[in-house]
Structure 1
Amino acid sequence: MQKMIAEKLKNKIALKTKPLGALGMLEELALKIGLILDTECPVLKAPHMVVFAADHGIALEGVSAYPQEVTRQMVLNFLAGGAAINVFCRQHDIRLDIVDAGVNWDFDAGLALGNAKMAKGTRSFLDGPAMLEEEMLLCLEHGRNKIHDIAREGCNVIGFGEMGIGNTSSAAVLMSLLCDIPLKDCIGRGTGLDDRQLMDKEAILTKALTNYSGNTDVLSVMAWFGGFEIVQMAGAICAAAEKNMVVLVDGFIATVACLCAVKMNPSVRENAVFTHQSDEKGHRLLLAALEARPLLQLGLRLGEGTGCALAYPLLLSAVNFLNEMASFESAAVSNKS
């Protein structure tokens, strides 16, 4: 059945009033969306963005330019509607959900905040695991449950973002171990480290990796080096793919979460649309490891899902040209000889 839909979609795209391939990546995107939604006439419904937030024990070791309390402050900024992701989601009519996966703060009960708090941040993974195996498995379950709730609203396209001071450190080590790429090639400036701070970050993460003697399977690595928000996002990505949703993948941290999801279930890759290549050092290598071709390259390194929201109009354009653009036959235009 999938092969039949693929042929029909390719034929439909080829017969639009344009030279073959003239819409470039939009043609690839239209084909991918049609395959995910299993139809020649795809419609994007109830778009959602989910931002998972959590704190990291490794941040207390000095790997970030910003203090840990910024995680909590930015969550409150999201809830007040003042962050970049709020602006872009409003602009494109995307529903935004914020989830407390493990922020080091007790938020007021009346806030419009999803509660999946595991603890007030992970432990530092410098000398031990960031979380227990049971916590890691529960994070995956929380992420999956969030998707089950959203699916009931008819959503078939979803993006993921994150907020967590120190999470580029967690993501860099996860990438290094799961992709077998030297750690130094995975470490970037994160929130804006200067040269000295970057050297300190590399020394701390190198020590943490040297101290690790566990297995290199994805579950073991996630438990030792993961963040609550990264693992919950990985679980959510797996569930979204199983629900045949179009999965929009943001920048470096979100792509590491997608890497974890792909390691758990390789078929997830078929649902993933990689929205941009961020300015974080390791992201280009990570995208290459996933054989991913990002839609945008804007020098972003903000996270929050901003790349997903910015790329969403391209998905609409891909769907609209597929559904609305005339064919050579319907427009009475001569095709190539």
Structure 2
Amino acid sequence: MMQLETLAQIVGLADTLPVADEPTRAAAARRQDSLTKPPGSLGRLEEIALFMAAWQGNDRPRIAKAQALVFAGNHGICAQGVNPFPQEVTAQMVANFEAGGAAINQFCRVNGADLSVIALDLERPTADFTAGPAMTDAETLDALNRGAAAVDPQADILTLGEMGIGNSTISAALCAALFGGEVADWVGRGTGSDDDGVRRKIDAIARGLARHPGLAPLETLSTLGGREQAAICGAVLAARAARIPVILDGFICTAAVAPLFAADRRLLDHCLVGHVSVEPGHRKLLSAMGRTAILDFDMRLGEGTGAVLALGVVRSALACHNGMATFADAGISGA
């Protein structure tokens, strides 16, 4: 099991972690070219099949076990009035996940994913980053390692999601610190903030950035992030060590791993993005990271819903890759 002792370890991990198996990708591409369809006619489904082949090291990739993880945390920045709902809602939603009553439960059931929900010290929110760092290095490492420990090394694919009142503010703060630009361009309505609420979010982030200038990428995770963001980073790194492909959810989940991308973009080579969120910062973030999401359904729920919905698309891509006949199998000539 991956166990990080310092944040500085993360910077050099890309040089030691597994990489995509390019010979296997090439073998999978040869199979794609032999299937009973015009080359490239399944578009991104073909790309997804090759991606899965390269990371599984199998030119006929399969998903026997899909794991879905949802991490939950609470945030001190809520003291600045950035969210219309109280932080008690985080624990209430965790209970709903555990009872099977949330959207993510339905999507996991339909798309064949085993869901685990990890609540991270909900009774102890992080600190308000307008007054000081949100987390100490020790707290960040604890959350990173808890996220890593939650990953099943036998999984064939991992989907990631989150829950945490106030974490759309955290996400916008991380993006603004890492990629710059106007704070307002990263901020959306989250769980339903009105215009005054959006202004409070922008103001809180601007004050936090002014208090903590010049942060290195991984310092942003401790200084501006939350426990669920750190846990998502830990899960991504553990999945990479086990050669497990990952599907990230929307804005909050993608922003959570942005510090990894900024530290070394290779750390996210095994990750797909499930959907593009309605939150305005997500398209901007995906552009900065050079990524295209699988789905664009005007969703902004979180919980990992977009990632698990995209899992169904990945399963469809592999069904075609593995199940379609080749021209030779079908006795079709002239191909």
Answer yes or no: same fold by TM over 0.5.
Answer: yes
Matched with 1:270 is 269
Q: Which aligned pairs between 1:187-336 and structure 2 lie closer than 5 A? A: 187-213=187-213, 215-336=214-335
Equivalenced residues, count: 316
Q: Which aligned pairs between 1:54-203 and structure 2 lie closer than 5 A? A: 54-104=73-123, 120-147=124-151, 150-151=152-153, 154-203=154-203
Deviations 1:278-327 (A, max 9, x none): 10110001111111111100111110000011111111111111111011
Normalised TM-score (structure 2): 0.91
What CA distance in whole angstroms lies between the structure 1 residues aligned with 2:23 and 2:200?
Answer: 54
Q: Which amino acid aligns with 1:94?
A: A
What CA distance in whole angstroms lies between the structure 1 residues aligned with 2:75 and 2:86?
Answer: 11
What CA distance in whole angstroms lies between the structure 2 residues aligned with 1:269 and 1:222?
Answer: 16
Matched with 1:23 is 42
Would the aligned equivalents of 1:102 and 1:229 in 2 still touch at CA under 8 Å?
no
Query: Aligned-pair distance for 1:196?
Result: 2.1
SS of equivalent to 1:329: helix
Would the aligned equivalents of 2:21 and 2:55 in 1 still touch at CA under 8 Å?
no
What CA distance in whole angstroms lies between the structure 1 residues aligned with 2:180 and 2:64?
Answer: 38
Would the aligned equivalents of 1:36 and 1:270 in 2 still touch at CA under 8 Å?
no
What CA distance in whole angstroms lies between the structure 2 residues aligned with 1:266 and 1:198?
Answer: 30
Would the aligned equivalents of 1:238 and 1:261 in 2 still touch at CA under 8 Å?
no
Deviations 1:135-156 (A, max 9, x none): 1122212211222xx11xx212
SS of equivalent to 1:51: strand
What CA distance in whole angstroms lies between the structure 2 residues aligned with 1:245 and 1:83?
Answer: 26
What CA distance in whole angstroms lies between the structure 2 residues aligned with 1:168 and 1:335?
Answer: 55
Query: Aligned-pair distance for 1:161?
Result: 0.7
Normalised TM-score (structure 1): 0.90
Q: Which amino acid aligns with 1:272?
A: C
Matched with 2:16 is none
What CA distance in whole angstroms lies between the structure 1 residues aligned with 2:22 and 2:190?
Answer: 42
Q: Which amino acid aligns with 1:194?
A: D
SS of equivalent to 1:90: helix
* Structure 2, unaligned runs of 5 or more: 1-19
Q: Which amino acid aligns with 1:130?
A: A
SS of equivalent to 2:106: helix
SS of equivalent to 2:198: helix
SS of equivalent to 2:277: coil
Deviations 1:92-116 (A, max 9, x none): 2211001011212xxxxxxxxxxxx
Q: Which amino acid aligns with 1:122?
A: T
Matched with 2:17 is none
How high is the sequence identity, in percent, across the aligned residues? Answer: 36
Matched with 1:51 is 70
Query: Aligned-pair distance for 1:246?
Result: 1.2
What CA distance in whole angstroms lies between the structure 1 residues aligned with 2:207 and 2:271?
Answer: 33
Q: Which amino acid aligns with 1:175?
A: C
Query: Aligned-pair distance for 1:264?
Result: 4.4
What CA distance in whole angstroms lies between the structure 2 residues aligned with 1:35 and 1:180?
Answer: 33
Q: Which amino acid aligns with 1:255?
A: T
Would the aligned equivalents of 1:246 and 1:271 in 2 still touch at CA under 8 Å?
yes
Matched with 1:113 is none
What CA distance in whole angstroms lies between the structure 2 residues aligned with 1:27 and 1:160?
Answer: 23
SS of equivalent to 2:269: helix
Deviations 1:162-186 (A, max 9, x none): 0100001111111111223332211
Would the aligned equivalents of 2:108 and 2:115 in 1 still touch at CA under 8 Å?
yes
Q: Which moved more, 1:123-132 or 1:135-144?
A: 135-144
Query: Aligned-pair distance for 1:91?
Result: 1.7
Query: Aligned-pair distance for 1:333?
Result: 1.6
Would the aligned equivalents of 2:220 and 2:259 in 1 still touch at CA under 8 Å?
no
Would the aligned equivalents of 1:102 and 1:122 in 2 still touch at CA under 8 Å?
no
Would the aligned equivalents of 2:218 and 2:260 in 1 still touch at CA under 8 Å?
no
SS of equivalent to 1:102: coil
Query: Aligned-pair distance for 1:335?
Result: 4.2
Would the aligned equivalents of 1:174 and 1:225 in 2 still touch at CA under 8 Å?
yes
CA RMSD of aligned residues (A): 1.5
What CA distance in whole angstroms lies between the structure 2 residues aligned with 1:81 and 1:123?
Answer: 31
Query: Aligned-pair distance for 1:265?
Result: 4.7
* Structure 1, unaligned runs of 5 or more: 105-119
